[in-house]
Structure 1
Amino acid sequence: MTELLRTLFVATPGTSLHLDGDTVRIYHPERPGRNVLPLVRIDQLVVWRGVDISNDLLLRCTADNRGVTWLSRNGRFLGRTGGNQIGNPRLRLEQARAHDDAGRRLAIARAFVAGKLQNYRQLLLRIARDAEPERQAEIRSLATLHAESLSAVAGCTSLTDLLGIEGAAARAYFQGMPLLAPEIPPGRTRRPPEDAFNCVLSFGYGMLRVAVVGALEQVGLDPYIGYLHGVRSGKPALALDLMEELRPLLVDRFVLTLFNRKEVLDKHTTRDPAGGVALTDEGRTLVLERWSQARERTWRHAELKRSVPAGLLPNVQARLFARHLRGDQPAYTPWIAH
C-alpha cells in the first residue's frame, strides 16, 4: 500500500478494502492489525488485480466522485469507475468541436508531438553529458535526429504525415535504448513485454495513464475525445495524447534510472510460458516506492514560471488545455523540461 498526492495505490494480492465510517480499512490475512486511512485524504484509488473492494466502499467513492482504477498485475489499465462527471458541459462541447475541425485538430496534435519530441531530445542530451566520448557522440546524433523531426512537425500539413513523423522518431529512440542503459535491448515490446526493461516501462506508462485520466476528469474534459490518437470505444484518446509529452521525462527517465542503478533484480520479474515478462509482488512494491519518490521531484514549468511536482504536472497540463479550448489562450503549450 502506498499513499501519495491523494492517491492510494494497493498492489498486494489478497488485500481487501472496506468502508469503515469515513475511512478505508485495509485488510490482509498475513498482516494483522487495524490499518485505516481517512477518506478525506484520498482523491482516487488505484488497485491491482487480486485486490478486492467492498460494495459499500465502491458506492461511497462513487457518491464522493472519487475515482477507482483497476490495473492488471503488469500495470495494464483494466477499467475505472467514478461519480458524476465534473465540469461545464460547454467545455466538452468545445472539445468535440475542436476535434471535428480538421485545422484545429492538427494544430493540437502537432503540439502534443512537438512536446514529446522535444522532451525526447532533452532526455538524450542530459544523458549524453555524462557519457564517455564515443557513446556521447552517438546519443547526440540521436538527439539531432529528433531536432530534425521537430522541424518536420512544424511544417506538417496532415495528421497522417504527423503520425508518420512521430512513429519514425519513436522507433529510432527505442532502437537507441542500449546507448542509454547498456543492458537494455533495442526496440519496444509490449502486450506482453519480452524483457524486464519493457515490463517496468509498461508499468510506468500504466501509472501515468491513471494520473492523466484522473486529471482530465477533474478539469471536466472527456478523456475519450482526442486529437492525435483516433477516437475509438474504450480508448482514452485525449489521455494518450497528453501522455505523449510527459512520457520521456516522467516515465522513461525514471525507468532508465532504475536500470542504470541496477535496482531491478532478477527476483523482481518473472517470465511466463509464452515468453512474456511480468513484475513479481516484490518487484511491484519496489517500482511503486520509487515511482512515489519520483512523483515528488519538482520540475521547472515555463508557463507557470515556477517549479511543479511531477505528480501534479498532468493536472497542470489538463487545466492549460482546457484554457485553450475555452479561448483563454490562443494555442496549447506542451510541458517541456528545462
Structure 2
Amino acid sequence: MKKDIYIFNGGKLVRKDNTLLFESVEGKKYIPVNNVESIYIFGEVDINKSLLEFLCTNEIVLHFYNYYEYYIGSFYPRECLNSGFVTLRQSEFYIDYNKRLFIAKQFIDGSVKNIIQVLRYYNSRSADLSQEIEEILQMLDSLSSQETIEQAMAIEGNIREKYYKCFNKIINDKAFTFTSRTKRPPKDKINSLISFGNSMLYTIVLSQIYQTNLDPRIGYLHTTNNRRFSLNLDLAEIFKPIIVDRTIFSVINKKIITAKDFNKDLGGIILKDEGRMKFVKEFNDKLETTIKHPSLENKVSYKRLIRLEAYKLQKHITEGEVYEPFIARW
C-alpha cells in the first residue's frame, strides 16, 4: 500500500526527473513517487507549477497546515475516479431528506458505538467508566426516534460532552486535565491534541475518498454548503474515537508527549514542532496497525478501513446495499 509523506522542515519540494526531491538545510531526500499517496506539509515549503503537474499526473493529494496546526487547504488533483452517475446518486440521497437522515444517523450511530468501545477498553483496565457507559447507551437509544438531523446531532453533542468528561479518568498524567471542548484556539493541551488529531484525520479521509467514485463535496451529516469538502467530515466521525482519541491517550499515558511539548501562543495552546512530529508518528503508526475485519479473511489497516467505509457508502447509494458503519470489536 502507498504511504503518506509528512514534511515538517522548511525547504523546497520539486520534481526531479520521475521522482520527488525535498531539499532542506539537512540535505537532499529523494522520494519515489510510486510509493506516495498523499503529502502533508507543516513547514515553510516552496513548490512550483511543475511539481503540481507531476503530482496531478500521479494522483497525489497535497495537504497544507499552518504554524498553528490548522488545516488550511489541499491541492486536490482532478477527480480521476469521479463518476457522473455516482455524483447524481449522491445528490439524490442528499436532496431526499429521509435518505439523508438515515445516512446521518448511521454516521452518528457508528461514532457513538466506537466511543463506547473505547470506554469499555479502558474500563477493563484501570478506569471505572461503567456508569458513563450505561448513560451513553441510554442516550444512544433515543437516536432512532429523532426526526431531524439537528436533533440527532444534539444527541451526539450530549454524548460527546459525557464522553469528554471521561478523559480525566483515562489519562493518568495530572499535567493533562480536560475541562471542556474549546477550538480556535484550543485552550489547553488536551484540546490542542484533539484539534490537531481531528484535522489530521479529516485530510486522511479526504485522501481515501479521492480513491473512490464518491464526490467529497456532498456530505450528509455535515451540511453541504460553501465549504469545499464535507463528506470527509462525515466519515471521520466514525473513526475519531478509535484513531484520534486512542492515539491521544497512548501518547500521554506512555509519556511520549509531555507538557514540555506545548507552547502558549495567541491565547491558545499548540504543539511545538518536536511534539507535532511525535504525535504524527504515533498517529501514522495507528493508521498502519492491522486488525481482523469482521467480513474479510485478511487483516486490514485502519487506513484501509476508512476506504472500505467509503466503498460501503457508495454501494448504499448506487446499489441499495444498506450502509452499516464500522464498529470496533477489540
TM-score (norm 1): 0.91
Q: State the partner residue of 2:111.
A: 116
Letter in 2 for 1:268: D
Structure 1 position 61 matched with structure 2 position 51 = no
Q: Deviations over 1:184-242 (max 9, x none)?
A: 32221221111222212211111111111111121121212111111121252211111
**1:336 and 1:178 mapped to 2: Cα distance?**
24
Structure 1 position 37 matched with structure 2 position 31 = yes
Segments of structure 1 that go 5 or more residues without pairing to the other structure are none
**1:77 and 1:50 mapped to 2: Cα distance?**
14
Structure 1 position 97 matched with structure 2 position 98 = no
Q: State the partner residue of 2:6.
A: 9
Letter in 1 for 2:209: L
Q: Deviations over 1:87-121 (max 9, x none)?
A: 22100110010000111011101100000110000
| Paired residues, number | 325
**2:144 and 2:300 mapped to 1: Cα distance?**
28
Query: What are the equivalent positions in structure 2 for 1:72-87 lying under 5 Å apart?
Result: 72-85=66-79, 86-87=81-82
SS in structure 2 opposite 1:213?
helix
Structure 1 position 21 matched with structure 2 position 46 = no
1:145 to 135, 146, 149: 135
1:205–1:5 Cα change, 3 Å: farther
Q: Deviations over 1:3-49 (max 9, x none)?
A: x942111122x2221110111111112x13x3101111112211125
Q: 1:160 Cα deviation (Å)?
A: 2.1
Letter in 2 for 1:99: Y
**2:278 and 2:150 mapped to 1: Cα distance?**
40
**2:2 and 2:167 mapped to 1: Cα distance?**
31
Q: State the partner residue of 1:161.
A: 151
Q: 1:126 Cα deviation (Å)?
A: 0.6
Q: 1:75 Cα deviation (Å)?
A: 3.2
1:215 to 180, 201, 208: 208
Of stretches 183-192 and 166-175 in structure 1, the one that deviates more from structure 2 is: 183-192
1:175 to 160, 165, 168: 165
Letter in 2 for 1:76: Y
Letter in 2 for 1:61: L
**2:293 and 2:82 mapped to 1: Cα distance?**
25
Query: What are the equivalent positions in structure 2 for 1:256-271 lying under 5 Å apart?
Result: 256-271=249-264
Letter in 2 for 1:26: F
Q: 1:265 Cα deviation (Å)?
A: 2.0
Segments of structure 2 that go 5 or more residues without pairing to the other structure are none
SS in structure 2 opposite 1:219?
coil
Structure 1 position 337 matched with structure 2 position 308 = no
1:224 to 211, 217, 221: 217
SS in structure 1 opposite 2:142?
helix
Q: 1:162 Cα deviation (Å)?
A: 0.6
**1:310 and 1:213 mapped to 2: Cα distance?**
14
**2:287 and 2:224 mapped to 1: Cα distance?**
29
**2:168 and 2:111 mapped to 1: Cα distance?**
20
Kept in 2, the 8 Å contact 1:296–1:311? The answer is: yes
Kept in 1, the 8 Å contact 2:116–2:136? The answer is: yes
Q: Deviations over 1:250-297 (max 9, x none)?
A: 11011111111122123311111x321111111111112212221221
Q: Root-mean-square deviation (CA), in Å?
A: 1.7
Letter in 2 for 1:25: L
Q: Identical aligned pairs, as a percentage?
A: 25
Q: State the partner residue of 2:65.
A: 71
Kept in 1, the 8 Å contact 2:69–2:270? The answer is: no
Kept in 2, the 8 Å contact 1:120–1:146? The answer is: no
Q: 1:74 Cα deviation (Å)?
A: 3.9
Of stretches 247-256 and 295-304 in structure 1, the one that deviates more from structure 2 is: 295-304
Letter in 2 for 1:143: I
